[in-house]
Amino acid sequence: MPLQLEIARESWPIAGSFTISRGSKTSADVVVVTLRDGAHVGRGECVPYPRYNETVPQVAEALEAARAAIEAGCTREQVPNLAAPHAAQNALDCALWDLEAKRSGQPTWQLAGLSEPRPLVTAFTLSLDTPEAMAEAAAKSAHRPLLKLKLGRDGDAERLRLIRKAAPKSRLIVDANEGWQPDQLTPLFAVCAEVGVELVEQPLPAGNDDALKGLQRAVTICADESAHDRAGLDALVGKYDAINIKLDKTGGLTEALALARAAQSKGLKVMTGCMLATSLAMAPALLVAQFASVVDLDGPLLLKEDRNPGIRFDGSVMYPAPPDLWG
């Protein structure tokens, strides 16, 4: 069925700033795909990420270049051949899922053959800062059950100890964003175990993580920048214990669901994460999160404001998306 494609670039201010080992940002810059068939509307949102050589203009241009094929009535199976950047594939794939749900009157979880999604606890991210500033932020968020700590600079051991003291009851996970070196692993993993960190994301640079092979550790190590789609899954076995599945890396919900199943079949745990984005990006990710042992979909909580309607958050508990948002 012929479709009408709309491509929108949007910028959503962050509440304050967001800092990781690679730098800081003050807005979430997204691309939204809207598909109309005259009676129904489907939408999908993506975050082009410079770490993967993707930009907002590049993604918008890739979708524009594929306009004729998309408007001719493309299917989800055709998406990987239509738009090269994975972020572009994600927005298009999720818009097609949403459109099919609207056309059929069935929620996406039924269309995907999944169980009805349940509310989940998401991590709440503390931006990288000085040890003292991160401890202060942890104290303000100590009521939250799961905190994610952005690390990857000198002083991480001190950060961990001060944060644990400031938030003694919260579960802790860590994201080093490729910021550690092989000779730091053993001492930093020891501090992680000391303060009760449950999981560490991407301690070493992707492509330079062989030091993880056979390394004894008391904490789960999760691939993020090293994990994209099923094609690279075998290379992670033996280095990592888990993978972080993000739809902007997989190229959409279709591949993300397949990756989650494939990872579990190889004995890898699943974490579901996100880029900084609105509830429109979190909605399909919540379906993948039903497979996950750790959920990190707090993007809307870090923005000054979210879409209306958006996903309902009760503290750190997030609820399935309302149908008029997505799916």
Catalytic residues: 150, 246
Helix (H, G, I), strand (E, B) or coil at 283: helix
Could you give the CA distance from residue 182 to residue 145 in angstroms, rounded to a whole number?
A: 30
Cβ–Cβ under 8 Å, residues 4 and 71 = yes
Q: What is the DSSP string of 108-160?
A: HHHHTTPPPP--EEPPEEEPP--HHHHHHHHHHTTTSSEEEEE--STTHHHHH
210 to 213, 222, 241: CA distances (angstroms): 6, 14, 14
Q: Are 234 and 255 in contact (CB under 8 A)?
A: no
User: Quick one: CA torsion of 236, 238, 239, 241, rounded to 10 degrees?
Assistant: 90
CB distance 284 to 109 below 8 Å = no
Angstrom distance (rounded) from CA 160 to CA 207:
26
